[in-house]
Amino acid sequence: MSSRKSLRFILLLPILLLICADNIRPRTEISSSGASGMGSKYSLIAFTPAPGGGRIFTWRNYFKPSPAIEQQSDAPLVIRNPRFYSHWSWGYGIGPTLDYNVVNVSQKPIHSFTTSHRSAEPWDTGASVSQPESALKPGDSLSRKDSVSGKSRIALTVDFVQFADGTTWYSNDGQKYVHPEGVRAGARDAAEHLIKVLESSGPEAVLKSLPRIHADVSDSLSTIKTWGMGHYCGVTNVVVKVQHANREGGLRAIEGALRRILDDPSESNR
């Protein structure tokens, strides 16, 4: 009887290793630029506290088809090492995620970017805007995680990149979530708001107002329906350009940066 149990365990062990091996997730993930988190230790089955005090068990899912990475040749950000994980907790369910790394392959620091995933199932489609705690320097890697729910194969892509100097890159994929027109609309709204602050209170007040600009120049439901995530990215673009102008030319350079955004329709695409 004991020999049968041993044989059964030996037969089951490769299956358990296939499902759970290699990681299942590091207990910590990279939250800022750099590869500092890449050395995190992996365990056979990882767990973290659930909201109710229980445990969330996480394991690598090797059975779901690897996503199709849609990568443009000129993309400044590339997607690498996509992998699926399943998460479970008693009473919560939780579900699967798609984890992947993005790497800055350009020559300039990246301030923020937008990635998206989609499949043949409409509900398994989404996009997210990511802004590292500090600019993602050339060669640096960042960990990302998206919630997924469908069974169809997923297509994963980088839609939009904004560099630390305010210049931008757009995907030419027709499914992208960030359009140049939306970015220009958000940039104009933000520039008009900040010029009013400048004229009433001066350039220092402009700098102080930047942390709350997304509340002052908010995206309404109609704006989101019209411009998608572009308007939000356009407001951020103005923040980046004002900060860059201040670093390069001081307070006196702020007004010129704001005026250029209003006077030149293509300014937000540079």
Residue 59's nearest CA partner among 96, 94, 31, 30 is 96
Identify whether the C-beta of residue 111 lies closer than 8 Å to the C-beta of residue 240.
yes
Identify whether the C-beta of residue 194 lies closer than 8 Å to the C-beta of residue 258.
yes
Please report which helix (H) or strand (E) contains residue 252, including its range.
none
Report residues of the chain scoring pLDDT below 70.
Answer: 1-54, 91-94, 174-175, 221, 265-270
pLDDT at 1: 56
DSSP 8-class letter at 107: S
- Cα-Cα-Cα-Cα torsion 189, 193, 198, 201, nearest 10 degrees, comes to -170
pLDDT at 189: 94
pLDDT at 77: 96
State how far the Cα of 150 lies from the Cα of 258, in Å rounded to an integer.
Answer: 44
Identify whether the C-beta of residue 142 lies closer than 8 Å to the C-beta of residue 88.
no
State how far the Cα of 192 lies from the Cα of 147, in Å rounded to an integer.
Answer: 36
The structural domains of the chain, with segments of one domain joined by +, span: 36-170, 180-269
**Residue 250: half-sphere exposure toward Cβ, Cα within 13 Å:** 1
Work out the number of other CB atoms within 10 angstroms of the CB of residue 64. 18
Task: Enter the CATH code of domain 36-170.
Answer: 2.60.40
**Residue 228: half-sphere exposure toward Cβ, Cα within 13 Å:** 18
pLDDT tens, residue by residue, 60-89: 888 888 888 988 889 999 999 999 888 887
Structure tokens at 264: 């030149």
pLDDT at 224: 74
pLDDT tens, residue by residue, 200-240: 999 999 999 999 999 999 877 677 777 888 999 999 999 99
pLDDT at 193: 96
Rounded CA Rg of the chain: 22
In one-letter notation, the amino acid at residue 82 is: P
| Residues sharing a CB contact under 8 Å with residue 21, sequence separation 6 or more, in sequence order | 44, 60
DSSP 8-class letter at 37: G
Strand-pair category, 68-70 with 155-163 = parallel
pTM score above 0.85: no
pLDDT at 58: 85
